[in-house]
Amino acid sequence: MEPTVAAFDRHALRATRSRRDGWRDTWRGYRTAARLGWRVEANWADPILFLTYSVAKPLAGALILVVMLEVVSGGGADEYRAFIVVGSALWSFVIAGLSGLAMSVLDDRERYRMLKYLYISPTSLAVLLLGRGTARFAMGGIGAAVTLAVGVLFLGVPFDPAVMDVPLLLASMALGLSGVIALGVVFAAVVLQTRQDSWSYPEAVAGALFLLVGAVFPLAVLPMPVQALGLVTPLTWWVAAVREALFPDAVSSIAGPGSLYTRLTGVTEPDRWVLLICLLATTVLVTLGAMLTFRVSERRAKDRGLIDQTTGT
Amino acid sequence: MSLPSVPAIETRGLRRVYKTKPKPIVALDGIDLEVAPGEFFGLLGPNGAGKTTLIKILTTLLLPTTGTARVFGFDVARETRQIRRLMNIVAGGEQSGYGLLQVREQLWMFSQFYGLGTREGWQRVDELIEAVGLDEQRNQKVSSLSTGQRQKMNFARGLLNDPWVFFLDEPTLGLDVSAARSVRELVRTWKDALPGRTILLTTHYMAEAEELCERIAIVDHGRILAIGTPDELKHRVQSESIFRLEVDRLERGAGALAGLPGVVSASTATDGTTPAPDGVQTLNLILDNDTALGGVVTALGSMGAQIVALRKSEPSLEDVFVELVGRGFDEDGAGSNGHHEAVAR
Ligand SMILES: Nc1ncnc2c1ncn2[C@@H]1O[C@H](COP(=O)(O)OP(=O)(O)OP(=O)(O)O)[C@@H](O)[C@H]1O
Ligand SMILES: [Mg+2]
């Protein structure tokens, strides 16, 4: 097959390359990376299996916890049931968000060996990774929604649309998502530096965080220094705010007897404004930290030649 | 159209040290290089010479330790955005790709990362698929492609943004004779279609370098040992005498002649000639001058070897390489002329 000269000639020295990188290009890069992630992550060969997996995992987690709760408390603890269902529903989301970006670094570098080709394109690495992570995020979102629905329909979680605080829910979801993404960027920055096989890191760390932020049990049961760590994490405030928005009667994960928060402020039940302001503050903090970390990490990776290194054969 | 007046590639005192344990590796040790727009430039060097490292720096994958490198005047460390728009790279011997995607789809996604419009992207991809000869595989999964087909896809990706500088790192590695030839054909056609398109090629195949490159740099241990057109390089060894010797019953091969007086080097010829039967070997001999030949002939006689044919020959690029680097490619590699056959015509 003889190559055709015409195809090479027509696009000669395109004007686009002297153009500055605009928002449109960034948006296009993000969208395409999201599409790439969706096509690569989702097991389209077997959609049933894929859906079952992305929904069954968070659902099973919630069920196990609810059953444990029933056994331990001898039934009847409605507020705790709500507490746990919200916690584990959000958590499938958090795991997906936290580990999604890091996983795509590993996948693209080690498995597909395409990271270097993505990297040398004009679209910035951060935008590409955010896009790549979006698919996992969306799948986590589906899992979370299903878990919540099952909790309300079958697990006797008391849900009353009339008492639901919609503005609080929307505001805290928006902030919480930013916080999750920012932490995801930090994870990706760390994984970019690893030399060894680090496939299990992101999920492991996300799992550990689960215990810190009041998702399954209130912070009050943790030692004080660990509680302090929990209080500077936006996830803690996010989980609490969403719980407050959906189930105002649910137990507070932040305050209460034995909690650092109550000891510091004397308040036993933070109100919605406190939750939102703390969520905002911690999110801004983590986002700034993430941007800095990522910049340093990318620079270091480029200095050490880590962008195209593969640990396998 | 007037060509840009800045060099396509310019490096000054470029050094790259990998901080490895137990001791650091100096991959590039002060490279000064200038490639003009429109040049087809080759880098020849043994394994580990630093060729890939240089390409990684120029393609913004790796930072220099010290020194500067510029692509069309843009600094690799600070002006990466600009460089990324105007260059691309294809490397050989790779198994990269999103296996689940179709060829056309993967290429389209890359067109989007380069800022082409949605429809424009599909159009461009279809043109390139045709140009590289992947029509039949366009809707195939990437994972199902053969090595040669994958390399064609790789070329289509590399040409999506119509680079001004195209980096080719051993692009024909692992390809069979005809696939390698069609890749070379493709590269040349693309380049000739427009003045100003610049190519930096690394290869281990002498004939490939000689066939394609207008200028060649021979590198080893991170330094440029010689630079010039293939003819200029060959003139470097013109002052010496080069003979092609077919010899029978020479037990120890080329090594037997290496130490003789007046012999600069003796190596097994690797230019793709079909090996003669019955243990007849073809050797390349570089001598200080013609008179040293007498000693060689005498020595061969005393070793019991029989000269089948003897011919004075023009120096080849390989002769230059052997003289400068001090060893042929074969001596640290396969030890046969098999992998050079890919470029035999
Ligand atoms: N990521 C790395 N870390 C440490 N050392 C490296 C790294 N990459 C390359 N090197 C070393 O740098 C030197 C130059 O390697 P490079 O890959 O540039 O050589 P090359 O000329 O491309 O060789 P080849 O012909 O085998 O492809 C080698 O000694 C190699 O071991
Ligand atoms: Mg190399």
Domain layout of chain A by residue ranges: 23-303
Contact A121 B113 (CB under 8 A): yes
**Chain A interface disruption, residue of B113, B122, B128, most A CBs within 10 A:** B113
Residues carrying CATH 3.30.70.100, chain B: 241-313
Question: What pLDDT digit, counting tens, does each position of B233-282 carry?
Answer: 988 777 678 888 888 888 777 888 888 888 888 888 765 455 555 678 88
Q: Is B200 on the interface with A (CB under 8 A)?
A: no
> A307–B86: do the CB atoms touch at under 8 Å?
no
Domain boundaries for CATH 3.40.50.300 within chain B? 9-235
Which atom of ligand 1 has the smallest separation from the CA of B28?
14
SS3 assignment, position B117: coil
Topology annotation, domain B9-235: Rossmann fold (3.40.50)
* pLDDT tens, residue by residue, A185-235: 999 999 999 866 677 777 788 778 878 888 878 888 889 899 999 999 999
Q: Which of B329, B311, B315, B290 lies closest to B236, judged by CA?
A: B315
Give, using CA atoms, the residue closest to atom 6 of ligand 1.
Answer: B18
Q: In chain A, what percentage of residues exceed pLDDT 90?
A: 33
For residue B221, report the distance from its CA to the centre of ligand 1, in Å.
10
CATH number for the domain whose boundaries are B241-313: 3.30.70.100
As for ligand 1, residues whose beta carbon falls within 6 Å of it are A 305, 309; B 18, 20, 25, 27, 45, 47-53
CB contact under 8 A, A113 and B193: no
Say whether pLDDT at A80 is over 80.
Answer: no
| pLDDT by position in tens, chain B (length 345) | 455 578 999 999 999 999 988 899 999 999 999 999 999 999 999 999 999 999 999 999 999 999 999 999 999 999 998 899 999 999 998 889 999 899 999 999 999 999 999 999 999 999 999 999 999 999 999 999 999 999 999 999 999 999 999 999 999 998 999 999 999 999 999 999 988 899 999 998 888 999 999 999 999 999 999 999 998 998 877 767 888 888 888 877 788 888 888 888 888 876 545 555 567 888 888 888 888 888 888 888 888 888 888 888 777 888 788 878 875 444 443 333 333 333 332
